[in-house]
Structures are given as C-alpha cells and as structure tokens.
C-alpha cells in the first residue's frame, strides 16, 4: 500500500526555498510514500462563501479540493512573511476546511515544515499554520516538525535536496505522516 502525501507550498516565488524543500521531500520520500506537490495555488481565488456554492465553485478551488481528497496526508511548506503564515497558504487552508466539519483536511494527518531567512527558520509562521490547520479539522502531528533557518544564505548555492540536515530530517517527517496514516486507517 502506498501513502499519498499532498504537499502545499506557501510561496509562489520562482526559486522559492520552500518549493525546493518540497522537491526534496519528493526526492527523499521513504519507500512506499509518494509526495505530490500541488501546482496551482496561485490560481485559487481568495475564499469567499459567495463563491463556494455547489455548481459554481471556481475550477482552481475544485482542483485543490480534488487533489486533497485523493491524499492520505498533507505536508505544508511554510515560509514566514512578516512573522506569520502566507496568504496563499492560509487561503488553501480556508478552501480545504469547507464544508465545515467535512472538509478535505478533516482528520487527515498533517505536518508543517519550512525554511525562512531568519534565525528560527519560520517557526512563528509554522505555528500559525498548525493552529489554523487544527481548527480546520486536520490531525496536526505535534512532533512532526522541521524549521530550517538562514535559507537565503544556506541555500544560495545548495539545493535543499543536497543539504545533509534536510536529507536526514525531512524523510523522518514524511515517515511520521505515513505512520499516522496507517494508524488512522
């Protein structure tokens, strides 16, 4: 049995270190785990209940929900903007939290990791993402964490997939998601 983990990246920037970190998760996923990066968060409109009406949900939001429905678990990659979660990541959480109590996140194992320029690697934003995800109904794994500081310098010439700490610790987080999936099945 293969476990499918949907990766959502909270940075839309070309060359994003969090995007590269997600690519590292794809490359270094443990055997039996498939990490799939969702493409298209930039196209998802801001959540608005007026748009979230059966038969008229925007195509990009429908694609996000369909990808989430096919996932066994979620791995969010959160940079830190102004000390908190990015709008694109929060928007994805909002779309996936609906319908209330039965959204695509409901009870699925979820972890938040990331990298940021600051000395703490974006932990404030990651904590905010965990909070929002928990309220949205996800099964947030409290011990599945990875915060990598100094991204601008650290990954200036080195892709995260070639960083020793990433190669060692990111697969552990992915394995924790897979294990939680087996327990919740």
Read off the pTM.
0.95
Q: How confident is the model at residue 43 (pLDDT cuts 50, 70, 90)?
A: very high
Average pLDDT value for residue range 121-141? 96
Alpha helices by DSSP H, the chain: 17-27, 59-69, 87-96, 123-135, 151-154, 164-184
Dump the DSSP string for 97-133. T-STTSSTTTT-EEEEEEE-SSTT-SHHHHHHHHHHH
- Cα–Cα distance for residue pair 73/41, rounded to 1 Å: 18
Using the predicted structure, report yes or no on whether residue 119 has a pLDDT greater than 90.
no
pLDDT of residue 1 exceeding 80 = no
C-alpha span between 125 and 86 (Å, rounded): 8
At 73-95, the pLDDT tens digits run: 999 999 999 999 999 999 999 99
Query: Would you state the pLDDT for residue 28?
Result: 97
**What phi, psi does 157 have (nearest 5°)?**
-130, 5
The pLDDT value recorded for residue 100 is 84
Query: What does the mean pLDDT of the chain come to?
Result: 94
Could you state, in order of their start, the residue ranges of all structural domains in the chain? 3-184
Query: What is the Cα–Cα distance from 82 to 44, expressed in whole angstroms?
Result: 22
What is the fold of 3-184? Answer: Rossmann fold (3.40.50)
């Amino acid at each position: 049995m293969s476990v499918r983990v949907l990766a959502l990246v909270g940075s839309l920037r070309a060359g994003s270190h969090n995007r590269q970190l997600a690519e590292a998760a794809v490359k270094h996923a443990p055997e039996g785990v498939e990490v799939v990066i969702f493409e298209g968060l930039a196209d998802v409109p801001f959540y608005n209940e007026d748009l979230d009406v059966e038969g008229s949900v925007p195509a990009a939001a429908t694609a996000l929900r369909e990808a989430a429905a096919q996932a066994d678990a979620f791995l969010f990659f959160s940079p830190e903007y102004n000390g908190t979660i990015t709008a694109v990541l929060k928007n994805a959480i909002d779309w996936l939290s609906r319908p209330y109590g039965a959204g695509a996140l409901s009870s699925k194992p979820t972890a938040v990791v990331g990298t940021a320029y600051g000395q703490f690697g974006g932990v404030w934003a990651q904590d905010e993402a965990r909070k929002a995800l928990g309220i949205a109904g996800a099964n947030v794994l409290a011990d599945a964490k990875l915060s990598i500081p100094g991204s601008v310098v650290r990954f200036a010439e080195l892709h995260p997939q070639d960083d020793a700490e990433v190669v060692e610790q990111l697969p552990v987080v992915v394995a924790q998601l897979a294990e939680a999936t087996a327990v919740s099945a």
